[in-house]
Structure 1
Amino acid sequence: MASEQHLVDYICEQMRGAGPIASRKMFGEYAIYCRPKVVALVCDTQLFVKPTASGKAVIGTPNEAPPYPGAKPYYLIENRDDADWLTRIIAATAQELPVPKPRKKKAGTTPTEPGAPGPSR
């Protein structure tokens, strides 16, 4: 069962204290970002947090499950209503995760200034 935007919005609101939170729809489900880092997924209406030692320290003994078939296990978070606890987990997870590497530009493209003419042929 695909997750719905209103559920994702609620979950994001619960973790707002961890910093800038955003969601993005991907393949019918959602990725949740804290700063530029993906910290969690919402799949089939369930919240999965990326596993980190810091997150585990906040959770205690986490339930682990893959968010989708073939995925590595994430921490399955069943208590989405405790905003303080969820904020601590997300803040700890975001702090530990590395900043994503910048995407490489596609081969064969040249950067241009806005409004500048394209490459000559």
Structure 2
Amino acid sequence: MAASPDFTEFVQELFAPLGGISIRRMFGGAGIYCRGVMFGLIADDTIYLKADADSSKAFLARGCTPFVYDGKGKPVQMSYWRMPSELVDDQDEAVAWAKTALGIARAQKAATPPPSRRVTLGAARRR
């Protein structure tokens, strides 16, 4: 699951019109972020965008596949789908798909409750 430096630079330029794009290396690949929200990933120099039940239909219609990794001996499918390859030559269309993915990622992030910062009584008493 590699992400070459040249390809990550290309992806950053491709999605630059969104503003605030950053690429962070992770597990041999990379996450694609817009102002701190991960909306895509790069694996084997392939772009995958965040999708939900509705938007995944558009990916399927274009012959795209979901991102799958080997999780302890069995395949695990994530909610990221391979971006249609022809979009790498059409920045406007690529950015439109990325905006949809970013909207989905933002909505899912907003729906996720923050982690608990509560200190248990037992831990407080040990001090």
Q: TM-score of the superposition, structure 1-length normalised?
A: 0.69
Q: Deviations over 1:8-55 (max 9, x none)?
A: 110121111123211100011100012221111100111111113675
Q: 1:67 to 1:37 in 2, by over 3 A?
A: farther
Q: Cα offset for 1:86?
A: 0.9
1:66 corresponds to which residue? Answer: 67
- For 1:59 and 1:66, locate their aligned partners in 2 and report how far apart those are by CA, in whole Å: 12
- For 1:54 and 1:16, locate their aligned partners in 2 and report how far apart those are by CA, in whole Å: 25
Q: Cα offset for 1:74?
A: 2.5
Q: Deviations over 1:48-98 (max 9, x none)?
A: 111136755876824122243323252211232211111111112212323
Residue 9, structure 1, aligned to residue 5, structure 2: no
Q: 1:83 to 1:104 in 2, by over 3 A?
A: farther
Greater helix share, structure number:
2
After superposing the two structures, state which structure 1 stretch, 44-53 or 9-18, moved more: 44-53
**Structural RMSD (CA):** 2.9
SS at match of 2:69: coil
1:90 corresponds to which residue? Answer: 98
**What is the aligned-residue identity percentage?**
22
Residue pairs, 1:99-114, within 5 angstroms: 99=109
2:32 corresponds to which residue? Answer: 32
Q: TM-score of the superposition, structure 2-length normalised?
A: 0.67
Q: 1:53 to 1:9 in 2, by over 3 A?
A: farther
Q: Cα offset for 1:104?
A: 6.0
- For 1:55 and 1:18, locate their aligned partners in 2 and report how far apart those are by CA, in whole Å: 19
5+ residue gaps in structure 1? 108-120
1:110 corresponds to which residue? Answer: none
5+ residue gaps in structure 2? 71-75, 120-126
Mapped contact 2:31–2:42 kept (Cα < 8 A)? yes
